[in-house]
Amino acid sequence: MTAWLFLVITVLYPATQSRAEGQTADRQSVIKQRSDEALPQAKDEESEAPERRQAYLRYLEAQRLKGEGDRLRSKRLQEDAIRAYKETIQLDPSAAEPHVDLGGLYFLQSQLELAEREALEAIRLDPKSVGGHLLLARLYISLARNENYALSANTGKAIRSYEKVTELDQGVAEAWAMLAELYQLKNDSERRIHALEKWAVAPLPNDSLFYRSLMSAELAPDQAYFQLSQLYLTNGKNQQAIDAARRAYEADPDSNSYARNLISILRIAGTSDDELRIYSQLVKFANSPALLIGYGAALVRAGRYPEAAEQLSDYLEMDPSNASVVGLLAISQRRANRRQAAIETLKAGLARTDLSVRIDLQIELAETYEELGRNEEAITQYEQAFEHFMENGALTPASRPLFGEVLTRLVRVCRRTGNQTRMQNALNRTRRVVEADNPILDQIAIESLREEGKRREALEQIESATRRYPDDRALKFTKALILSDLNRYREAGDLLRGMIKGHPELATDDSSVYMILSSVQMQSGELKTAEASARKALALNPEDSDILLQLSSVLDRAGRYSESEKILRDLLNRDPDNATALNNLAYFLIERGESYQEALKLIEQATVIEPINGSFLDSLGWANYKLGNLEKAREALEKALIYSRRNSTIHDHLGDVLRGLGKVAEARRQWELALEYTENTEEIARIKIKLNGNK
């Protein structure tokens, strides 16, 4: 603290103390006593005392005027304060603090050159003036934000000034907070983390008006922890990310942003056990709806369906119209194989929720009917959801994806049950309302051709569609997969590589392209390049479970079984309810001739979660076949063909089961169908051997 400011404080504090205690000590003697203790060099300057005392008193008056001017927003009082500061400076030209305060007033009045001049003078008088460096930093950051922020010379000046502030006083929260912002601008992650860590533990500031005005946010440590949690996660510091997200939430439990952030980070960064442990601690003291719902979702993912149902049912009693809770409760019931209970939950929810959020519940109810084989009721629910869109007229960009999902599901179940009339009715009505730039009808027609095994016709249709919709990513992905099915791998790869943008802001989009490219390369037998593509996808989007599943498949195909299995087991440790991971691990174990009983348990769990997934039912049938349960195997595989009619692998497996049951003629028919539906040369050779050996 400078000598001058110390004496200002001794004027204020002893006078207040004397009034409080009724003392009559002479103020001059108190000033002299404090000055003698702190400033030995001032002992022999008694001749200057009257003038300096006048400066101190004038400074106090300037402070009072400034405070009143700020409070009343009075320009006149601010001008009076400016005059008082100037008089103070004339009375004591060696003091830095009046220059800082005067510069602050000029700054408020947007007289930036004058503000800079006063800040620089304060620093000249006292190079360790925290206020002077802070004023300069505020001035430069304000100028930079009105220019090209990242490239402005003032940005660099602001960084250097704020760094000087932290060098002089590490407890200035504003300096650390602004440095975190500026380091982010410069893509300096390491220094940004350091600044945020310092901000998080800095004392709460008395003055945060400038920061709030500039950043439209509070200068509070929970903001620092919030940002830190996301940075830690990006840098793979998962436990630190969880701790920081939790600190932010605990500082402000009413913040939905903090609650959602904590939920997201627990989902990504922790194991299932970590997630549940932290949730169970927090929900004892928190009433955050988001957190309570997050806990229910975590219980579902962990496969603890009865606990999830209990948690969500309790919450639903408090908020019976919450569509998210209704849907999640129904999911927990479906996965516990209590689908009739899920139907009742969804029906009750539909009666209580607003029309605007009802479509998702209607789709879930239709899915549940499908899972129970109640296809007519499923179609009715899909049709009701379809009518909602028809009644609302033209589709919006926001409503397109959900409409596409409803129409696709409706067409699929109608096609599967042979209900052509209702399917064509929906398609004809769609043609009358769909916009010219919406390829939904082309996508449905192409999918229909693929399901019928008409790959070349599907390719012709999609080539026509891509000429009309050249920028549609979904069509390009589908075209690449059809080309791959036709063994035209190079064309598929070229198409996908042309979709990669290479821009950081499009990393997630590029990761999807690399993942599908990896699948095409794996299908073509290019396992090294398939692995490289999968790892590129993972680098761009490290938390995407689908990419991990693809990488695991590539490694399994390459004979690197332990690495493949580790990926799946790690994924299931984090997400025990991931049905595809359960299925893949089970199938890989079966194919390697290992742990048939464990494989059966895994795949049974997967088929409870998704009972109409043809691939999962195929795995269930194949596991039972390996265990000698031939009738169960036959039942599962025949059910699989209901949902994947032209899947060569399922027909091949069913042929093996029928041969085991002594039904050679039926087995041969299944192998012939498998041969008809595959384009893979290895599969063709293997199936022909079976046909030649079983006449």
Q: What is the CATH number of the domain that holds 126?
A: 1.25.40.10
The pLDDT value recorded for residue 10 is 34
The answer to whether residue 665 is domain-embedded is yes
211 CB contacts (<8 Å, ≥6 apart)? Answer: 174, 177, 178, 217, 219
610 domain residue, yes or no: yes
Nearest in space to 522 (alpha carbons), one of 512, 511, 513, 533? 533
pLDDT at 395 (0 to 100)? 81
How many independent structural domains does the chain possess? 2
* End position of a domain, from candidates 200, 230, 247: 200
Task: Give CA torsion, residues 204, 206, 211, 217, to 10 deg.
Answer: 50
Give the global pTM.
0.76
Band of pLDDT at residue 19, cut at 50, 70 and 90: very low
In this prediction, residue 622 carries a pLDDT of 95
Q: What angle do CA 164, 9, 104 make, to 5 degrees?
A: 45
Whether 394 shows a pLDDT value over 80: the answer reads no
Task: Kindly state whether residue 178 falls inside one of the protein's structural domains.
Answer: yes
In a domain, 634, yes or no: yes
Residue 225 lies inside a defined structural domain of this protein? no
Residues 6+ apart with CB under 8 A from 282: 246, 249, 250, 291
In whole numbers, what is the pLDDT of the chain averaged over residues? 89
Last residue in a domain, options 200, 215, 235 = 200
> Residue 250 domain-assigned?
no
In contact, 8 and 56? CB cutoff 8 Å: yes
pLDDT digits (tens, 9 = 90+) for 35-73: 343 333 444 445 556 778 888 899 999 899 988 988 888
Alpha-carbon gap, residue 75 to 105, rounded angstroms = 10
Of 179, 200, 221, which closes a domain?
200
Report if residue 511 sits inside a domain. Answer: no
What mean pLDDT comes out for the span 478-497?
Answer: 95
- 670's enclosing H/E stretch is helix 664-677
pLDDT for 48 equals 58
Answer yes or no: is pLDDT of 570 > 70.
yes
Asked if residue 236 belongs to a domain, the reply is: no
Q: Which domain holds residue 630?
A: 565-693
